[in-house]
Amino acid sequence: MSNLKDKLLKGTELSVRGSAISQSKTGFKLSIHKSDSLQSRINKANQASLATHEDIALLLDDSSSMEIRDDFIKSRMDYLREAVIGFANEIDFVASKVLCVPFNSSSFISTTQAQLKGSYIAQSGGSTPMHRAIKRLLDSTILRGILISDGEADNEEWALSEARSCAALPTKKKIDCVHIGHSRDGEVTLRRIAELTGGLYFKFKDLESFRSALRELAPRRRLALEAKTADEIKRLTGATEVIKH
């Protein structure tokens, strides 16, 4: 940030939403060209200086379809809530910053262990604005997200565009993608997001396996998966399918 302040004081070209402004003692000069905004550059500098590999963002589908009961016992959302509780038990909340980002929430929320283990995930309802959740990961200092969904994004291209932006950062933001339920809707999009960002892709038809396996993606456990093959991870987690990039 000090380098940025030095540039502002000395007079340098700064990008402002597709325009360049040069500041000097005599005033300002505006020229038009495509580039990152000033805020985007500040965000990237912050990400590089503040982010740690212990931090994580949970990007969670809270659409209406999450109330479907694949096994006639509990809904997909019930299993998701239980999986998040097990995940929270694996987090060191002193070393880690955790964001909980329901798709339909108006903002991302930094959370504590007690909140994450409580009735923290909102009731299901609404559509599947997956791109909005990925954008919140992009705007944060966090370098890795876990995206969990049971269906198609409202707009696949918008979701993929945000994933490409995560992959294009100097410090790439990885997204592990988890598709739950018997439906095949949305599988292709999640596979592509994981591929673009260098994350893992999981498919779970067995939601009991998903509930216990999510803890394997907690920051310190996730490191151990890097040394395993996709088949080994599949056996460990009970997933229907695993793709490793």
At 181-228, the pLDDT tens digits run 999 999 999 999 999 999 999 999 999 999 999 999 999 899 999 999
Query: What is the pLDDT averaged over residues 151-167?
Result: 97
What does the pLDDT read at residue 122? 58
Q: What angle in degrees, to the nearest 10, is found between the helix axes of 2-10 and 38-50?
A: 150
Backbone angles phi, psi at 32, to 5 degrees: -100, 125
E strands within 54-212?
56-60, 98-102, 109-110, 144-149, 174-180, 200-204
What does the pLDDT read at residue 159? 98
CB 104 within 8 A of CB 133: no
Number of H-type helices and E-type strands within the chain: 10, 10
For residue 2, pLDDT over 70 is answered with no
For residue 8, pLDDT over 60 is answered with no
Q: Which of 3, 180, 166 is nearest to 76 (CA)?
A: 180
For residue 130, pLDDT over 80 is answered with yes
**Residue 123: C-alpha distances to residues 71, 80, 112, 119, 179 (Å):** 20, 12, 19, 9, 19
Q: How many CA atoms lie within 13 A of 98 on its CB side?
A: 27
| pLDDT per residue as tens digits for the range 43-99 | 554 544 445 678 999 999 999 999 999 888 899 999 999 999 999 999 988 888 888
This prediction's pTM: 0.77
* DSSP 8-class letter at 122: P
| pLDDT per residue as tens digits for the range 10-37 | 444 333 334 443 444 344 343 334 445 6
CB 193 within 8 A of CB 199: yes
What does the pLDDT read at residue 72? 83
* Ordered domains of the chain (ranges, CATH): 2-45 (no CATH), 51-244 (3.40.50.410)
| Token output for 113 | 């262990």
What proportions of the chain, in percent to the nearest 5, are helix, strand and coil? 40, 20, 35
